Amino acid sequence: MLRKRVIPCLLIEDQGLVKTKKFKHPKYIGDPINALKIFNEKQTDEIIVLSIDKNRYIKGPDYDFVSELTSECFMPLSYGGGITKIQQIETLFKIGVEKIVLGSLCYENPKLVQEAISIFGSQSFVGVIDVKKKIFSNQYSVKINGGLTKIHFSPIEYLKFIEDLGVGEIIVQFVDREGLRVGYDYEILSLISRSSNLPVLALGGASSFDDFRQAFQAGVSGVVAGSFFVMIPPYDAVLITYPTNQEIINLN
């Protein structure tokens, strides 16, 4: 039986580890290098690092800092944030990034994404769908630019759009659940998982192993979480955690 994919997600701003709620109000919680060292000790299988620096699209990726992260990391590291050029992608791979996570770029410059995939291969890219449930309805919108901009696609339409670009897997992120520990949105997660030809990962809202279990039952290939792995309720004290091998096995 294949081991379930359980993936921490670290948010980085100004080289600090931060946490947000609903994509807003980043709060500094520590040094990401120290966090990676602890995840190494806990034998974490893989990790995602996302830059949310306000000027990331102007400055581009901080290669020196990303190189520090990959040098410290004993596991495959996926990186996203501030990517707008093929040359940036090439440099990130050269300094040890395993996969590139693409959000707004898929919508804003799909030709560049297709070109990058033709050069480096589908397995190297992860497309993100940021979804938000409309108030007082069962309808969902798709957001880009850190949840600020609504686009005209439905989640399923955007799923097909990103699949056609050639990415190797999909992250479904829940804007209105991020950082709140209220569980994933299993209804839309199940719909997207059933509709996709690619591995689907869930991100945003995890609070317990039961949330992971329900996400796997909804059809995802992996679960991703931020707060769950770096903070403990009720006062959001900083504590780096990761499930044991047996706890991951028990998610089946």
Catalytic residues: 130
Select from 243, 200, 242, 191 the least CA-distant residue to 37.
242
> Which of 109, 62, 63, 101 lies closest to 84 in space, CA to CA?
109
Q: Which helix (H) or strand (E) holds 113?
A: helix 110-120
* Cβ proximity of 235 and 223 under 8 Å: no
Q: Determine the Cα–Cα distance for residues 79 and 101; give it in Å rounded to an integer.
A: 6
Number of H helices, E strands in the chain: 11, 14
- The answer to whether the Cα torsion of 164, 171, 139, 214 is positive or negative is positive
**Amino acid at the residue 176:** D
Give me the half-sphere count of Cα atoms (radius 13 Å) on the Cβ side of residue 189.
29
Helix (H, G, I), strand (E, B) or coil at 57: helix
